[in-house]
Amino acid sequence: MSKSTYTYYKSETAKVGKGSVVFHGTVLGDDVKIGTNCTIGYYTLIQQDAVIKSNTKIGAFCHIGKGVKIGSYVEICQYADISEGSIIEDYAYIGAGVTFANIKRIAHHRDFEPEVVGAHVEKGARIAPKALVLPGVRIGKEALVGAGAVVAKDVPSREIWFGFPAIKRGTVPETEYVKVKKNVKSI
């Protein structure tokens, strides 16, 4: 199937950069901005005001919430749910089925407004499949979060965390630090 035959919905105000491919069934909301050379997988929802920088890959069946900022050279695997207000910096990796929560206190049919706070994933951090990142959590530069972890606290840079709840289990070896490409502008 050639690029020109993919069927997806793109708001009139959404912008898709040169060389980017958006696969069948995807929805791009109002004022979404996708950089150059990106790949957006099948049946992905990208809500209004989301920004995705260049050379980023987003898998099938993902949800990218309102106002999410995603850097360059990021990989987000299938079925990931990146909630409203979250930030993912350059070279980060988000595994399959990772969920970012963003509501600090559930307000369903209550007399108070929910507090919405996204997560922040710093440059080169990696989150393994099926992890849950709670509201407002910051995953530090080059940190590694293990599969199925429930991350309730900030993860310092270059630390390895996993478990339920996630706790420090080690340090990321220098040999695993990301190899930065030249001419990449950060968010």
Judge whether 185 lies within some domain.
no
- pLDDT for position 1: 42
Judge whether 46 lies within some domain.
yes
Residues in the chain where the model's pLDDT stays below 50: 1-2
Judge whether 112 lies within some domain.
yes
pLDDT digits (tens, 9 = 90+) for 89-132: 999 999 999 999 999 888 888 898 888 999 999 999 999 999 99
- pLDDT for position 105: 87
Judge whether 73 lies within some domain.
yes
Judge whether 92 lies within some domain.
yes
CB-based burial, 159-185: b 16+ in 10 Å, e otherwise: bbbbeeebeeeeebeeeeebeeeeeee
Cα separation, 129 vs 5, whole angstroms: 31
The length of the chain is 187
Concatenating the DSSP letter of every residue in 77-136 gives -TT-EE-TT-EE-TT-EE-TT-EE--BSS--TTSSS---B---EE-TT-EE-TT-EE-TT
Range of the domain at 70: 9-176
Q: What is the 3-state composition of the chain as percent helix, strand, coil, each rounded to the nearest 5? A: 5, 30, 65
pTM for the structure as a whole: 0.92
pLDDT digits (tens, 9 = 90+) for 79-91: 999 999 999 999 9
Task: Give the CATH number for residue 68.
Answer: 2.160.10.10
Cα separation, 40 vs 26, whole angstroms: 8
Count how many domains the chain has: 1
Cα separation, 143 vs 25, whole angstroms: 33
- pLDDT for position 187: 54
Judge whether 50 lies within some domain.
yes
